[in-house]
Amino acid sequence: MAESTVPVLAGGSPLVPEARRELAGLTARMEKDVLIWLAARVPSSVNPDHLTALGLAAMAAGGLFYAAAARRPALLLAVNIALAFNWLGDSLDGTLARHRGRLRPRWGFYADHLVDVVGALLLLGGLSLSGFMSPGVAVALLIAYYLVNLEIYLAAQTVGRFKISCGWVGGTEIRILLAVANAAALSWPRLALGDATPLLLDVVGAAAVAGLLGTFAYNACVNVRALYQRP
């Protein structure tokens, strides 16, 4: 993720008080150990910016694979490979920067989150063209994702709390769930629900939208209350 959780001014002081980063995904502890192990073995010619670029390129590739899956469904599995490379670039860039003592807080915060929002647009844009998810569901999922991320960024700057997971579900868990859904959709693109046969990824997407909107509403209420009571 980002090389820092909040931007700082040119003189080095935080723009707002340092946000407390909270990552509590099911795989968080194991993931942290793996990233530290990888960071110590990254060639010196590779820097955090290369990894950030890899994360974005992987999302673009995933979107292209989704779009091409309309004609070649097996490319859904290529999307899963792209998701793995996105995890590598998106998760390792900050760990590598910390390992080498080369943190650039403002750049890391801005670039990493910009890559996240652009990457989501590219991935879901491709998914909307795949035939495996309805365009309306893909757009709803993108909007819900943006709402959650907007609330996270606002909370980091005002409440001082940078929470990038919901319960036991974080970015890594979302990638894993999406990869499983892709593999399942390759064999069962539609579900049989009585007389209806909705697309499997439409059902998954609708559930994700509901979860994201619920997370947005809950976090917004908690943070509004906390901020309103402050002087």
2 domain-assigned = no
Tell which residue, 58, 205, 61, 63, has the closest CA to residue 126. Answer: 63
The burial class, CB within 10 Å (0-12 / 13-18 / 19+), for 11 is: exposed
15 within domain boundaries = no
Residue 207, class by beta-carbon neighbours within 10 Å (0-12 exposed, 13-18 middle, 19+ buried)? exposed
Token pair in block for residue 5:
């959780």
> Using one digit for the tens of pLDDT, what is the confidence trace for 93-127?
988 999 998 888 888 888 888 999 999 999 999 99
Could you report the per-residue pLDDT of 148-169, keeping only the tens digit for each? Answer: 999 988 888 888 777 666 666 7
Q: How many domains does the chain have?
A: 1
Q: Is residue 140 part of a domain?
A: yes
Strands 20-22, 165-166: pairing is unpaired
CATH for 145: 1.20.120.1760
Q: Which long-range contacts (CB under 8 A, 24 or more apart) does 11-15 make?
A: 15/157
| Between 24 and 34, the higher pLDDT residue | 34
Q: Which residues contact 11 (CB under 8 A, 6 or more apart)?
A: none
**What pLDDT, on the 0 to 100 scale, is given for residue 32?**
86
Residue 17, C-beta contacts closer than 8 angstroms, at least 6 positions apart: 160
Give the range of the structural domain holding residue 50, as residue numbers without chain letter.
20-228
DSSP state of 18: P
Q: What is the C-alpha separation between 80 and 93, in angstroms, rounded?
A: 20
Tokens representing 130?
Answer: 């795949």
pLDDT surpasses 50 at 78: yes
Give which of 178, 202, 174 is closest to 80, Cα–Cα. Answer: 178
In single-letter form, the type of residue at position 227 comes to L
Residue range 120-137: average pLDDT? Answer: 97
- Has residue 213 been placed in a domain? yes
pLDDT value of position 167:
60
215 occurs within a structural domain:
yes
For residue 123, is it within any domain?
Answer: yes
